[in-house]
Chains A and B, each alone.
Chain A
């Protein structure tokens, strides 16, 4: 009897005491990255010690899965307190009022101007909406070309001299590096990162003078000549052309770290260096790899490196005010460790303080990445960027794999992107 009474009492007392203690539970959803998990779990512990009434639950998912989970959770009004994704996927949350503007005081800034001043100019532009800032960047990433020197030497090339500077050279060099058994490629010289058409493929079109959408945002596909040249290039790259690579092969970036003589070059960001170090320390220490700038077309009319994208921490606007305030405090606490993020995870939190630090300047190949970043512009982002990206994917894959002519693929792409623009509501 006493035991039963005690249990019933406990059931009432515990929730009441939690309520009285005003415990704030923050759900923090983010993508998987073992290097980040290690340090962020420590930040959580430290933050919870500073604020004993706060409980933070960090949940990780793969970078593709998290987009669905966050979306469906928000659709059911059950989104997490804090989340981060790439800006192309996050922008719709800002436009639809699903995320709260930065609480400047809680984030440690006097006002919006002080916040803007602390970051590299332009890096907060994607989250600047109707006079407010809606996210703080966990990372700003641009891609360059990562190169395996051993593969170059094996093909009789000098990586320091013979690395491709133009897309035309990329074909020539790849032809020399590629090994095939009949039609099957056993070693690719280089291959693209196929799902990321807005980040790594659109710059190729823009180098030739093309655009996705007109400046007034009303017309899709500008400069057919540039688009056709780009699509012809991709068709020639694919299995029905020169057979240098294909979206159906295992993605080049994942293979690169293993150093298994199956890939010579891939497109990737600075974060890859920390992953090589973690996955294959021997290869990392051997220095048999290097980073070179994003190539340009020989007759490019614009110098366009890969577009940069950002992962921004955002806070759910449907959560209570005290949760929002605490969430910004916690985000700010994590981001105050910018140098550790660079050293341990190789991601760039674009604060002026970090970019001017010796840690950043001494980081391997940071000069190559920052040089491209300075000339780079932000990736196309809108409420419909995910759809637009998949439409470009369809067009490129149709010319590479299904023998659709570049002109037909372009007409289909134009029709579909125009429909997206016309259908905005």
Chain B
């Protein structure tokens, strides 16, 4: 009798659960699933954005073209340089910053606000601000010349291939470091204080406490931060777009998303652009899976 009653309650709860997740499911289906399926379908056609003629079915020709195209491989290279150059420092530095902020007795909120504020800015505004800073007569050259004691050196922030890569990484790092720091702060706050106290009683110093207690217990947060930051980096667009519009060379920062945009909007080749987005989707899916697998290898985290 009790079992039947429990099943009835669970059923009712499940129904309400479905009811509450339905709006997000509908939203997700319309704005995510449908475009993904549509992009895959379009990628099988030769289709011009402005053409009124029906698109021609070409099977996997667009994929074959891309895999043979030096430009596409350059985009893969540019995307990976940017992603590795950005997301690894972001994960490490945001953890260190979060630990630093949590260790402060005063001004915690002030630090959080200061670090988080760039994340509130739109990427376009952020890139525009940095364009002024990276101008040859801007703050970046002035600052470097002051710090290094050089006079009138142009560090070519937007001009040389390596510097323009570094500049895009710097902008992204500056913009998102605060956001991920806040996530780490939430993770740090959820670790029971009693565990730290027990470690101290057992003779652990600050470093050992951080290394053997905090870091292992932060694993779910680290997985979340690393996946989120990696996906953000793979999807980077506006900084590279604005920089190239302002005269920076295209090749070093021609990330996949920028190539997709140019192929679709500049070249009107929507079929090929769709193939590139499908490949990017597969890359993102693969690395997310790899990170999940890697995170599971050490077992689940349990605070009890």
Contact = CB atoms under 8 A, between A and B. Distances in A.
Contacts of A401: 156, 159-161, 249
A185 B137 CA distance: 8
Query: Could you tell me the dominant secondary structure of chain A's interface residues?
Result: mixed
B209 interface: no
A416 B71 CA distance: 10
Contact of B267 (A195, A386, A402): A386
Interface string B42-75: 0000101111100010000000000000010000
A246 B265 contact: no
A71 B50 contact: yes
Contacts of A408: none
B267 A239 contact: no
A108 B266 CA distance: 35
Nearest to A389: B266
A387 B251 contact: no
Query: Could you tell me the dominant secondary structure of chain B's interface residues?
Result: loop
Contacts of A97: 52
Given A68-B265, A249-B135, A398 B49 contact: no
Residue among A98, A185, A247, A384 with max Cβ neighbours from chain B (10 Å): A247
Interface stretch (B10-18, B146-154, B176-184, B221-229): B146-154
A75 B50 contact: yes
Given A68-B265, A184-B137, A386-B266, A248 B247 contact: yes
Interface string A4-46: 0000000000000000000000000000000000000000000
Interface string B125-166: 000000000111100010000000011111011111100000
Interface in A333-391: 383-384, 386-387, 390
A92 B50 contact: yes
Interface string B84-99: 0000000000000000
Contacts of A247: 246-248
Contacts of B136: 184-185, 246, 248-249
A165 B152 CA distance: 32
Interface of A: 64, 67-68, 71-72, 74-75, 92-93, 96-98, 180-186, 194-195, 239, 246-250, 383-384, 386-387, 390, 393-394, 397-398, 401-402, 416, 425
Contacts of A239: 154, 156, 159
Contacts of B71: 416
Given A72-B265, A194-B247, A248-B248, 9 more contacts: A93-B50, A96-B52, A182-B151, A182-B152, A249-B247, A394-B251, A402-B160, A402-B161, A402-B249
Nearest to B155: A183
Nearest to B51: A96
A42 B228 CA distance: 52
A398 B251 contact: yes
Contacts of A72: 265
Nearest to A182: B152
B268 A402 contact: no
A74 B52 CA distance: 10
A98 B50 contact: yes
A184 B152 contact: yes
Interface in B185-242: none
B49 A71 contact: yes
Given A68-B265, A71-B50, A182 B247 contact: no
B113 to A, nearest CB: 33
A185 B159 CA distance: 14
A420 B154 CA distance: 37
Contacts of A71: 49-50, 265, 268
